[in-house]
Amino acid sequence: MIDAEAIRSGNRLALSRALTAVENNTPDSKRLQATLFPFTGNAHLVGVTGAPGSGKSTLVNQLAKAFRQSSINEKPPKIAIIAVDPTSPYSGGALLGDRIRMQDLAGDKGIFIRSMASRGALGGLAHSTAAFATLLDSAGFDIILIETVGAGQAEVNIARLAHTVIVVEAPGMGDDIQAIKAGILEIADILVVNKADRPEAENTARALKIMLEMSRGGGMTAASKHLMRSLAEKKVNTNQKDEKTGWETPIRLVTAIEGSGIDTLVDDIRRHKAYLVSSDLWKVKEAYRLEKDLEALIKDKLVDQWQENLDEEKYQALLAEIIQRKRSPIEALDLLL
Ligand SMILES: Nc1nc2c(ncn2[C@@H]2O[C@H](COP(=O)(O)OP(=O)(O)O)[C@@H](O)[C@H]2O)c(=O)[nH]1
Ligand SMILES: [Mg+2]
């Protein structure tokens, strides 16, 4: 059994073991999540997403360093980095590269880096990320940077669960169209055009600005709008003034590899947190995140239960009928549940 108190007091070995337990979905990991959950709610979750190769890991590395050189209440914030890479589930190839690049952070006790292997269902991936965040939050990390490859809806969903979403673009063919396809611009609280050392960067930034204006009609992200609506429905009091002001997604030119533009970004991340807190969106986002996590857990559990009681022969027979167009999936559903 892993000691929950050891995690809370910053024991890195206990934390590492707990995260592995979460990945393997052990009973002990469930006990730890339950015990530690009351001690969470402080960490600022910052999602960093974008196409492979856009420079997310390099950027996260620089952000972590910059945050460590700043201070919150006269102390440098403790930073955790979670790298979620479902595109390389077993080989760990991409993650190894990340580890090497992040090595210059390794000596700093205020920084904790962990990559997350993805096993099983996509819903599971989202929950594991949430569980990782719970453990790191309870261990006293102030800022949790979550790197996800912006390759599909599952990853977009993970990013959506962060308080602040940074979308990373880089100049190059088709990136902008890619961004629309993944609905990724919609979720950006901060938009980074990385590799600003390349001559096309300014054009990319200009194109993104136009696309952002078209897709949003200015102002809030789709997620924020959704949240404000659900707030209104639940009659939660919000700060009206800030609701009207909204948040203008800044577009920042950054050269992550040289560290230029990073200070502005650190400032943007802080401003965004202040905006969320002052407009009450922070609380709403927390509620939304927790509700989504509960929903995902229920769905996973129900499917598990269904599979346990499944009559495999009957299932295969129905499946064959569907493939032969003798029966529709919707009919089969009623027969299976
Ligand atoms: N020219 C240039 N290359 C960069 C910059 N940032 C990152 N790269 C390079 O882009 C490649 C992909 O970076 P990486 O951080 O692994 O991207 P990720 O896949 O999004 O995590 C690496 O070769 C980096 O060295 C930058 O600001 N300018
Ligand atoms: Mg990476």
- What gap in Å lies between CA 244 and CA 66, rounded to an integer? 32
pLDDT, one tens digit per residue, over 215-251 is 765 555 666 666 666 656 655 554 444 444 588 899 9
- What gap in Å lies between CA 335 and CA 303, rounded to an integer? 16
Residues of the chain with pLDDT under 50: 88-97, 120-122, 238-244
Assigned domain for 305 exists: no
Assigned domain for 255 exists: yes
Q: How many residues does the chain have?
A: 337
Which atom of ligand 1 is nearest the CA belonging to 255?
27
Assigned domain for 119 exists: yes
- What gap in Å lies between CA 293 and CA 298, rounded to an integer? 9
Assigned domain for 95 exists: yes
Contact 28, 126 (CB under 8 A): no
What's 139's domain CATH number? 3.40.50.300
Cα(194) to centroid(ligand 1), Å = 8
- What gap in Å lies between CA 15 and CA 112, rounded to an integer? 10
Assigned domain for 326 exists: no
Q: Verify whether ligand 1 is closer than 6 Å to residue 115 (CB atom).
A: no
Which residue has a Cα nearest atom 7 of ligand 1?
55
Assigned domain for 308 exists: no
Count how many Cα atoms sit within 13 Å of the Cα of residue 154 in the half-sphere of its side chain. 18
pLDDT at 71: 81
Tokens of 224: 């924020």
Which atom of ligand 1 is nearest the CA belonging to 54?
20
In the chain, the number of structural domains is 1
Q: What residues make up the domain containing 170?
A: 4-295
pTM as predicted: 0.85
Among 58, 62, 103, 175, name the best residue to mutate to test ligand 1's pocket (greatest count of ligand atoms within 8 A of Cβ).
Answer: 58
Tokens of 36: 């530690």
Assigned domain for 84 exists: yes
- What gap in Å lies between CA 336 and CA 43, rounded to an integer? 43
Give the phi and the psi of residue 67 in degrees, each rounded to 5. -65, -40
- What gap in Å lies between CA 263 and CA 21, rounded to an integer? 36
Assigned domain for 306 exists: no
- What gap in Å lies between CA 224 and CA 159, rounded to an integer? 14
pLDDT at 37: 97
